[in-house]
Amino acid sequence: MATSQVLARSTGPAPDSQDERLPSPTVPPTVPPTGPAPAVPDRDTAAVVSPSGPYSLLLTREPDDVAAAQRLRHAVFAGEQGARPAAGDAVAVAAAAQGRDADAFDEHCDHLVVREDASGEIVGTYRMLTPAGARAAGRLYSDTEFDLTPIDPLRDEIVEVGRSCVHPAHRHGVVLSLVWAGIGRYMVLTGHRWVVGCASVPLTVAGALPGGVWDLVASRHLAPAARRVRPWREAPIGEHDPHAPGAGRAARAALPPLLRGYLRLGAEIGGPPALDPDFGVADLFVLLDQTAIDPRWRRYLFGEAG
């Protein structure tokens, strides 16, 4: 039985540089899936049918695809960013010795992977943990960094996303757009309301979350008190003078593309950042209610008229 299926294919050549905007392509036709994806109900799967497109987006649990995604994650997280496996995580330590980034959650996740069609190489990846997967794993990954008690009533409606990365040679609009479209399509197929996850922000030289980033998200994007969570290990927040010349522009520029994308869609930030010393980042807990997404983006993400 197949354990992967094509969700979409790109419809044009890759641009020369990264474009973080979310385009609004033609709504794709629905076609029968090539095989059942583990956590997706038995419904039609959307695909952009363009044989000239250079990339395909797949939802997979195929061992070879997952291993390729884990190797890409290791190359980006450890090779580029200097991340190291948590010393107490035997799965992560063993995987790192094999040139892979893996943990105990991977086996319970569906994996979105972007494949370059010409080479067959996996060049982008994201993993998705459904409520059933979280129950099998015993918790969400975010539970390891935050006390999520305030959102316990939402757990049956949550898909947790994480471990996002793209090969450095493919960090442009086509691949990023495929990933966003894949997340939207996945939410439609699984029927869940909330997307949550940890959005990572590189630490300053002093080992803190950039103060401008915190001021920006805290002033505009904090979740209401009923959904406010707290980190188990809070990251320090750097000093920031919001009235300094260019402070606002610098704060916006410091937002990583993934976090910027979430905020554009209307995501909330659950509270203060958690420190992830193994990855050398501060993590912000992100909540996105897919039913409340700005109508401008609904057609792109969900194939709806906006």
pLDDT band at 5 (very low <50, low <70, confident <90, very high): low
pLDDT in the model for residue 8: 58
- Report phi then psi at 276, rounded to 5: -115, 90
Residues 127-185 have pLDDT tens digits of 999 999 999 999 999 999 999 999 999 999 999 999 999 999 998 888 888 888 889 88
Segment 281-285 mean pLDDT? 96
CA distance to 209, 238, 244, 275, per residue, from 215 (Å):
10, 10, 13, 17
**pLDDT tens-digit readout, 51-101:** 335 899 999 999 999 999 999 999 999 999 888 888 788 999 999 999 999
- Please compute the mean of the pLDDT values over residues 116-131 and round it to a whole number: 95
pLDDT, tens digit (0-9, with 9 covering 90-100), for 216-232:
999 999 999 999 999 99
Q: pTM to 2 decimals?
A: 0.83
282-295: average pLDDT: 92
pLDDT of residue 226: 97
**How do residues 7-47 score in pLDDT, each as one tens digit?**
656 654 433 333 333 333 333 333 222 333 334 433 333 33
Distances in whole angstroms, Cα of residue 85 to Cα of each of 38, 219, 276, 302:
28, 34, 11, 35
User: Which residues share a beta bridge with 116?
Assistant: 55
Phi, psi (degrees; rounded to nearest 5) at 305: -70, 130
- Percent of the chain beyond pLDDT 70? 81
CA–CA separation, 242 and 251 (whole Å): 9
Give residue 111's identity as a one-letter amino acid code. H
Which position has the higher pLDDT, 252 or 236? 236
CB 86 within 8 A of CB 94: no
- Rounded to whole angstroms, the Cα distance separating 2 from 43 reads 15
pLDDT of residue 295: 79
The answer to whether 286 touches 197, Cβ cutoff 8 Å, is yes
Domains of the chain, earliest start first: 4-19+27-302 (3.40.630.30)
Residue of 8, 201, 256, 264 lying closest to 112 (CA atoms): 8
The stretch 258-279 carries a mean pLDDT of 93
pLDDT at 85: 87
For all residues of the chain together, what is the average pLDDT?
83
Between 296 and 256, the more confident residue is 256
